[in-house]
Amino acid sequence: MIYPSFDTLVEKVRDGAARRKVVAVVAAEDDHTLEAVAQARRDGILDACLIGRADKIRTLLAGLGEAAEDFRIVDAEDPVAAAKRAAELVRERTVDFVMKGKVQTADLLRAMLSSESGMRTGRLLSHFALVQIPNYHKLIGLTDVAINIAPDLAQKKEIVENAVATMRAIGFEPPKVALLSSAETVNPKMPETAEAAALTELNRGGWLPGCHVDGPISYDLAISAESARIKGYDSPLPGDVDLLVVPHISVGNILLKALRYSAGAASAGIVVGGRVPIVLTSRAVEAQDKFLPLVIAASVSGD
């Protein structure tokens, strides 16, 4: 399936799911978070379980013109207690994914990764973003721009596995994966090129069936069929890539910001690799920036 834009993904999640997904919002007493969650509920995308100081949450909902009875509200005295409660709900399988509210990321992740939580899968947690680039014909995945700083080969393998599983859950099938580097050849002075070649070779051996993996490959070859034609690069990937895998976090962060601030792209990311996705947007961002990650998380979590 191809998503030309985030709008088509929103439609698919709203109209396509067998049932509405439920998000557990940790320390929900936060204006922008509640606003995004309320909009997603009104749009038919999800139901929400709001965890935190119930009185405060009710007051904020009233201020937003929302009816408290449209939400499940779970009282928790502080952010750490709220995170613990969310971990229990994940274990009980009464929620489909988790969103960070007014809680420190470290406190949230500690609760999620505790042995009492139902979150642990033994897999690496990694960051997965979807990006809408104005001059590209479909949404494109990007990983890992936010969690793993300088992953080694084994970690890169898990990052790709996490992202491919996520893309399949969203409906990209089969995903075409580019392992980005600055060139197409292995350069012994650039370990990332050797790692990319190793992952491509692994895939030829059947690592991720039904999935095209190519690399090392440069950004222009991944994104532009014309560029690949000029350079005589033969692959189904150029101009039709679904997932860009960056060699390390600084490449990913700077690439994503260049796309957002210089190419007019929109983007939204989630944390994957746990049993359910986690929405970890910054507390500083507006409600609008918290909405799209909710849509992605809802589209990823299984029926």
C-beta of 20 vs 283, nearer to its own copies: 283
Residue 243, interface with its own copies (CB under 8 A)?
no
C-beta of 167 vs 228, nearer to its own copies: 228
C-beta of 166 vs 224, nearer to its own copies: 224
> CB–CB of 181/215 below 8 Å?
yes
Which parts of 217-236 interact with its own copies (CB under 8 A)? 218-220, 223-224, 227, 230-231
Other CB atoms within a 10 A radius of the CB of residue 140 amount to 25
Round to whole Å and give the CA distance between 173 and 152: 27
Size of the site for its own copies (CB under 8 A): 41
Other CB atoms within a 10 A radius of the CB of residue 262 amount to 8
Cβ at position 242, least distance to its own copies in Å: 15
> Helix 153-170 vs helix 287-300: angle between axes, to the nearest 10 degrees?
90
- Interface region with its own copies, contact rule CB under 8 A, candidates 51-59, 84-92, 131-139, 207-215: 131-139
Round to whole Å and give the CA distance between 177 and 175: 6
**x/- site string to its own copies, residues 89 to 128, per CB under 8 A?**
----------------------------------------
Whose tokens are 């969310």? That residue is 86
Residue 190, interface with its own copies (CB under 8 A)?
yes
Cβ at position 277, least distance to its own copies in Å: 22
- Interface region with its own copies, contact rule CB under 8 A, candidates 7-15, 57-65, 86-94, 183-191: 183-191
- Interface region with its own copies, contact rule CB under 8 A, candidates 42-50, 86-94, 106-114, 180-188: 180-188
Round to whole Å and give the CA distance between 111 and 100: 12
Cβ at position 188, least distance to its own copies in Å: 11
Which residue in 5, 39, 104, 182 binds its own copies (CB under 8 A)? 182
Residues that bind its own copies (CB under 8 A): 133, 135-136, 149-150, 180-183, 187, 189-190, 192, 218-220, 223-224, 227, 230-231, 246-255, 257-265, 284
